[in-house]
């Protein structure tokens, strides 16, 4: 079991990629904290699924753009499991709009959730990792940060910000034994990509060398690997998992 005895916080774990990261990390032996914002039913389902298999779970409702709530989540995690070893910053929203159509409040909300949310969660979870001189941070970026995809201005800006933060933090935290990496998924089969109609999906398939969308497991497998001892010498990397899309 690659993550036996570790404790992992996964933001946005009620659905999609975050849900699968929580499942895969629990199966690898970790205690998992399932964070979500609004979809209580889906979050409860993940909790029940994992608990039925004997895994340790803490459910925490709170928006990542709320620093106070994220601090409470970190405190509740330490109280229940005794520490924080892994933080997966997965929560995010897609604003599928050209810049010309993007309203100031939409721009602000996307930055608050996708980028300031990552800052909030890292700030509030760092102390236990620093004290232990060991930790893993995995940020979920996007292929949108690597190549300009029209219609994703605010979204791509936040994901490019995550890449910058990942590189800086990998150096700031290396002395504490903490690795920081980002995964840049291409198109993955979740609710986020279910908004594309058949024509758009076909257009995207044609752009991807492997000619298909990825699955949440493709991202979760790498998150588990990076969080384990096997990933101990990898830090500061932006790893594309995209069927070759960004090449
Ligand atoms: P998804 O299916 O839409 O799920 C999003 C998850 O994030 C849900 O659990 C949602 O919880 C949670 N969430 C949203 N806003 C939140 C907030 N303010 N605070 C806490 N949780 C919040 O998305 P996904 O496709 O799995 O994407 C997950 C991550 O991967 C995102 O960062 C996304 O940008 C990135 N990504 C996805 C793709 C893709 O093709 N799917 C590609 C590249 C990158 P509630 O429902 O409870 O609000």
- How many structural domains compose the chain? 1
Residue 20 domain flag: yes
Let me know: does 145 contact 159? Beta carbons within 8 Å: yes
93 lines ligand 1 (CB under 6 A): yes
190 lines ligand 1 (CB under 6 A): yes
Nearest ligand 1 atom to alpha carbon 159:
34
Q: How far apart are CA 100 and CA 80, in angstroms?
A: 47
Q: Residue 184 has what pLDDT?
A: 98
Residue 169 domain flag: yes
Q: Residue 131 has what pLDDT?
A: 97
Q: What is the pTM of this model?
A: 0.98
Q: Is there a catalytic annotation at residue 155?
A: yes
Show the DSSP H helices in the chain as ranges: 16-27, 40-52, 67-81, 104-111, 117-132, 153-173, 198-207, 216-227
Residue 246 domain flag: no
Q: Please tell me the residue having the least CA distance from ligand 1 atom 41.
A: 188
State the CATH number of the domain containing residue 43.
Answer: 3.40.50.720
Distance of CA 160 to the CA centre of its chain: 14
Between CA 214 and CA 102, with CA 146 as vertex, the angle to 5 degrees is 95
Nearest ligand 1 atom to alpha carbon 64:
19
65 lines ligand 1 (CB under 6 A): yes
Residue 1 domain flag: no
Nearest to 33 by CA among 60, 52, 53: 60
Residue 245 domain flag: no
Residue 97 domain flag: yes
User: What are φ and ψ of residue 54, in 5° steps?
Assistant: 85, 10
188 lines ligand 1 (CB under 6 A): yes
Between CA 1 and CA 139, with CA 180 as vertex, the angle to 5 degrees is 85
Q: Residue 179 has what pLDDT?
A: 98
Nearest ligand 1 atom to alpha carbon 16:
26
- The pLDDT profile of the chain, 247 residues, written as one tens digit per residue, is 899 999 999 999 999 999 999 999 999 999 999 999 999 999 999 999 999 999 999 999 999 999 999 999 999 999 999 999 999 999 999 999 999 999 999 999 999 999 999 999 999 999 999 999 999 999 999 999 999 889 999 999 999 999 999 999 999 999 999 999 999 999 999 999 998 899 989 999 999 999 999 999 999 999 999 999 999 999 999 999 999 999 9
The per-residue pLDDT for range 125-157, each reduced to its tens digit, is: 999 999 999 999 999 999 999 998 899 999 999
187 lines ligand 1 (CB under 6 A): yes
Q: Residue 10 has what pLDDT?
A: 99
64 lines ligand 1 (CB under 6 A): yes
Residue 19 domain flag: yes
Residue 247 domain flag: no
Nearest to 216 by CA among 26, 19, 38: 19
Ligand 1, from 192, 194, 243, 246: best to mutate by most atoms within 8 Å of Cβ? 192
Q: Burial level of 206, CB count in 10 A (0-12/13-18/19+)?
A: exposed
Q: Residue 2 has what pLDDT?
A: 96
What spacing in Å lies between the alpha carbon of 12 and ligand 1's midpoint?
6
- Print the domain residue range for 224: 7-238
Nearest ligand 1 atom to alpha carbon 216:
26
Q: Which of 36, 119, 155, 205 is catalytic?
A: 155
């Amino acid at each position: 079991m690659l993550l036996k005895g570790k404790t992992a916080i996964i933001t946005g774990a009620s659905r999609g990629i975050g849900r699968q990261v929580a499942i895969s990390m629990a199966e690898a032996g970790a205690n998992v904290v399932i964070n979500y914002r609004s979809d209580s039913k889906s979050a409860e389902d993940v909790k029940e699924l994992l608990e039925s298999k004997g895994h340790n779970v803490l459910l925490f409702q709170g928006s990542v753009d709320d620093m106070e709530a994220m601090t409470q989540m970190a405190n509740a995690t330490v109280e229940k499991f005794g520490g924080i070893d892994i933080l997966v910053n997965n929560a995010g929203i897609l604003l599928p709009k050209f810049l010309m159509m993007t309203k100031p409040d939409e721009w602000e909300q996307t930055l608050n959730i996708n980028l300031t949310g990552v800052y909030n969660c890292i700030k509030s979870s760092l102390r236990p990792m620093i004290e232990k001189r060991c930790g893993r941070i995995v940020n979920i970026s996007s292929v949108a940060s690597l190549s300009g995809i029209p219609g994703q201005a605010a979204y791509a800006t936040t994901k490019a910000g995550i890449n910058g933060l990942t590189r800086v933090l990998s150096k700031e935290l290396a002395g504490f034994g903490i690795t920081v990496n980002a995964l840049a998924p291409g198109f993955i089969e979740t609710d986020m990509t279910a908004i594309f109609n058949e024509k758009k999906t076909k257009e995207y398939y044609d752009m991807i060398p492997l000619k298909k969308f990825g699955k949440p497991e493709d991202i979760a497998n790498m998150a588990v690997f990076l969080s384990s001892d096997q990933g101990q010498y990898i830090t500061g990397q932006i790893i594309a998992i995209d069927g070759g899309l960004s090449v």
